[in-house]
Amino acid sequence: MSDTNAANPLVSARGLCKGYGKGRARVEVLRGLDLHVNKGEFLAVMGPSGCGKSTLLHVLGLMTAPDAGSVCFDGVAAPARAGGRTAIRRDRIGFVFQRFNLIGVLSARANVAISLRVRGRRDDGLAGELFERLGLSEVAARKPGQLSIGEQQRVAVVRALAHRPDLLLADEPTGNLDSANATGLLDVFREINRQGQTIVMITHSPEAAQAAGRIVCMRDGKLFDHNP
C-alpha cells in the first residue's frame, strides 16, 4: 500500500472520504483513501476519468474539506476553518487546476503577478524565467482568451510555481501539450523537484508519469501502488 512510504511526510491523508450530492443522487468518490507524500517526492497519480483524481487533489490542496478522514500538512492537521486552510494554501502550495482558472480580464503576466501579490511575495525573476523556458515570452501580454489552450495551461503552471511553493499539485499539466512542450514542462518539474520541491501530478499519460519517482493508481476511491 502507498502509505508504507511515510518516512518524512509533507502531506499525510488518512481515511479520506468525499462524495457529492444527497440521497439517491449521492456519489461516493473517495472511500477511505490513505496517502503519504514525503518531502522531496515527485508522485504521479493515474486512474480512469471520473475516478476521483481531481477531487483528491482539491482535498490535498486544502481547497475543500473531506467528509471524513484527515489531512496533515507538514505535521499539522489541516484546520477545519476554511480561513486556516487558506493561509497554508497561499504560503506553501501551488496548484495547477485542470481547467486552469486564469483570470480572463488580466494578461498572462498579470495573472502571475497578482498571484504573487496576494501572497505578499516579490517578483524575484522566476516568473520571467519560466515564461521564457516554457515558450511564453511572446504571448505574456495577452489575455487568456487570446491564448491557445496549451499556452493557457503553461501560464497556469508558471502561476503555480512563481512563489516557489513547498508543494506543487498539478492536475493533468501536460494534458493539452504537444510532446516538445510536455517534455519542456516535465524538465522544469524534475528540476524544481531536485531542488527540493514536492510534486503531486495527476496524469493520463504513461510517458509523463515516468518523470515521477513513484506512481500510484486510483481505483474504487483508494490508491494502489502502480506495478507495471
Ligand X SMILES: Nc1ncnc2c1ncn2[C@@H]1O[C@H](COP(=O)(O)OP(=O)(O)OP(=O)(O)O)[C@@H](O)[C@H]1O
Q: Which among 45-53, 83-91, 136-144, 183-191 is the span making contact with ligand X, rule CB under 6 A?
A: 45-53
Q: Which of Mg ion, ligand X, none sits in contact with 104, Cβ below 5 to 8 A by type? A: none
Based on CB atoms, which residue is closest to ligand X, 55 or 174? 55
> CA-CA distance, 22 to 194, in Å (whole number)?
44
Which member of 8, 15, 50, 138 binds ligand X (CB under 6 A)?
50
Q: Which of ligand X, Mg ion, none sits in contact with 144, Cβ below 5 to 8 A by type? A: none
Q: How far is the CB of 213 from ligand X (least distance, A)?
A: 22
Q: How many residues bind ligand X (CB under 6 A)?
A: 13
> CA-CA distance, 46 to 53, in Å (whole number)?
8
Q: Which of ligand X, Mg ion, none sits in contact with 49, Cβ below 5 to 8 A by type? A: ligand X
- SS3 sequence, the chain? CHHHCCCCEEEEEEEEEEEECCHHHCEEEEEEEEEEEECCCEEEEECCCCCCHHHHHHHHCCCCCCCEEEEEECCEECCCCHHHHHHHHHHHEEEECCCCCCCCCCCHHHHHHHHHHHCCCCCCCHHHHHHHHCCCHHHCCCCHHHCCHHHHHHHHHHHHHCCCCCEEEEECCCCCCCHHHHHHHHHHHHHHHHCCCEEEEECCCHHHHCCCCEEEEEECCEEEECCC
Q: How far is the CB of 202 from ligand X (least distance, A)?
A: 7
By CB under 6 A, what part of segment 56-115 binds ligand X? 98
Q: Is 27 in the site for ligand X (CB under 6 A)?
A: yes
Based on CB atoms, which residue is closest to ligand X, 55 or 111? 55
Q: How far is the CB of 55 from ligand X (least distance, A)?
A: 3
Which member of 2, 9, 37, 55 binds ligand X (CB under 6 A)?
55
Q: Is 201 in the site for ligand X (CB under 6 A)?
A: no
Q: Is 195 in the site for ligand X (CB under 6 A)?
A: no
Based on CB atoms, which residue is closest to Mg ion, 55 or 107? 55
Q: Which stretches of the chain bind ligand X, using CB under 6 A? A: 20-21, 27, 29, 47, 49-55, 98
